[in-house]
Amino acid sequence: MRNEKEIVEIGIIGGTGSDITLENKKEMKVYTPYGCTSAAIIIGDFKGKKIAYFPRHGIGHSIPPHNLNYRANIWALKELGVKFIISPSAVGSLRLEHKKGKFILVDQYIDRTKKRFDTFYEGGQVCHIGQADPYCNYLNELFFESGKDIGIEIQKGGTYVCIEGPRFSTRSESKMFREWGGDVVGMTTYPEVVLSAEKEICYCCISMVTDLDVWAGECPKCGVVEYGNLCKECGSSINKLEVNVPEVLETISRNAANLKKILEITITKIDTKRDCSCFHTLSDAII
């Protein structure tokens, strides 16, 4: 149940690098109709803003992406009064120009999940939520400007292919995602983004590139190219590139400081009193 003294307007669903330093911290367990959140929610103050934070995958990264209780997580943040959700996400690159360590503020997704609960409207009322532009442009613009100010490689706009997980993609899948127009591939933005829309919450996904997925190979003469038996440019044999957990964790660790810095800078800029189209997503959506 919500305590009226604990109205929080900004929520962070994250992990390594996104645990910013909060003052006056307290743990809160929010009971939801959908069960438990990934972990107890930490509420605290940051430069005049009240923040709610919890690790998406639970304490010790113990919950795999396909088993996350997405509805409980989003419902709990709404119950606390959250209007803005910031969701860092480790992703694989599907484009040569998206190097390891780059940040991409995605504005589209392709849903390739299979067995996740992705709506709060299971009956009684039918909701056809609009998702033409699913991510909050206001938050994306704020983070983009902050990223440029501190000199990190950051891009505003891109398509996130969300797969079920917990396995990584095959080479054929990875190539297919590239042909579909995907920029990055990951396992968590869906259904967070659509559930946030159903709760009329602004949602931003900061995607951090941790690897090149498995579409890529390495030519001794031409560098990184699309994997095949021979390089299309010079005919040399191509070495396979693969993705593994140590590579992902190593990149996350190296970029944790940049993620923390961009979060801290941007949070102070968020105007929690402004109106946003994200707050009206249920208009004309419910039958």
Our measurement of the distance from residue 75's CA atom to the centroid of its chain's CA atoms, rounded to an integer in Å, reads 17
> Distance between CA atoms of 237 and 227, rounded to whole angstroms?
10
159-163 vs 184-186, strand pairing mode: parallel
Q: Which of 172, 153, 174 is nearest to 163 (CA)?
A: 174
From the CB of residue 124, how many other CB atoms can be counted at a distance below 10 Å?
A: 5
In the residue annotation, 183 being an active-site residue is answered as: no
Exposed (0-12), middle (13-18) or buried (19+): which is 173, by Cβ within 10 Å?
middle
Q: Which of 89, 41, 122 is nearest to 193 (CA)?
A: 89
Question: Which residues, including other chains, have CB under 8 Å from residue 238's CB and lie 6 or more apart?
Answer: 217, 218, 219, 225, 227, 228, 229, 230, 231
In the residue annotation, 107 being an active-site residue is answered as: no
Q: How many Cα atoms occupy the beta-carbon half-sphere of 124 within 13 Å? A: 4
Q: Which of 16, 61, 6 is nearest to 263 (CA)?
A: 16
The amino acid that residue 258 corresponds to is N
Catalytic entry in 107, 111, 183, 211: 211
Catalytic entry in 213, 271, 275, 284: 213
Return the active site residues. Answer: 211, 213
